[in-house]
Amino acid sequence: MSSNKKHHMSIDMRELIIKLHLEKKSLREIAKTVGKTHSTIQSVIKKFKNTGSVDTLPRKGRPKILSSRDKRNIIKKIVINPRLSAPKLAADFALETGKTIHAENIRRVLRKSGFNGRVSRKKPFINITNQKKKIRIC
């Protein structure tokens, strides 16, 4: 499975690239020195020229509340006890981690993992006498 996530370069590495650039080294020389592609070096330098900094800029959008570990813990609890409700799971989660989370977020995690909030159908109790009658009919 391929991932679209970019691996972020450390600030130390970016500072080294800028230092080498200011020493008038070529892109390919810098790339060979730090072990990155010349296009990566070019983008670091371009960003430095535009912003004047090598720091990581803040990202757009709201950060995710649940980490992958949190999601695995929620799923593990449901596997252990499938009768737990989403509000109960949310309350337990808040106690354990200190993060408040809405029950709908719990439901979303469970649905993505293939769990559905359904109640099993009530079946009539068949006593031993009726079981024997049913077997004779068949």
Query: In sequence order, what E strands does the chain have?
Result: none
pLDDT tens for 33-78 read 999 998 999 999 999 999 888 888 887 888 888 999 999 999 999 9
Domain-located, residue 78: yes
The stretch 97-118 carries a mean pLDDT of 90
Total domains present in the chain: 2
Domain-located, residue 61: no
Q: Are residues 74 and 105 in the same domain?
A: yes
Amino acid, res. 128:
I
Domain-located, residue 130: no
The model's confidence at residue 2, banded by pLDDT at 50, 70 and 90, is very low
Q: Which domain holds residue 26?
A: 11-51
Domain-located, residue 63: no
**What is the C-alpha separation between 134 and 130, in angstroms, rounded?**
6
Domain-located, residue 34: yes
Domain-located, residue 23: yes
Domain-located, residue 99: yes
What pTM does this model have? Answer: 0.50
> What dihedral angle (degrees, nearest 10) is formed by the CA atoms of 111, 115, 121, 123?
180
Query: In sequence order, what E strands does 20-134 have?
Result: none
Domain-located, residue 129: no
Q: What's residue 16's pLDDT?
A: 93
**What is the C-alpha separation between 41 and 43, in angstroms, rounded?**
6
Q: What's residue 109's pLDDT?
A: 94
Q: What's residue 1's pLDDT?
A: 42
pLDDT tens for 110-128 read 999 998 877 777 877 888 8
The model's confidence at residue 137, banded by pLDDT at 50, 70 and 90, is confident
The model's confidence at residue 83, banded by pLDDT at 50, 70 and 90, is confident
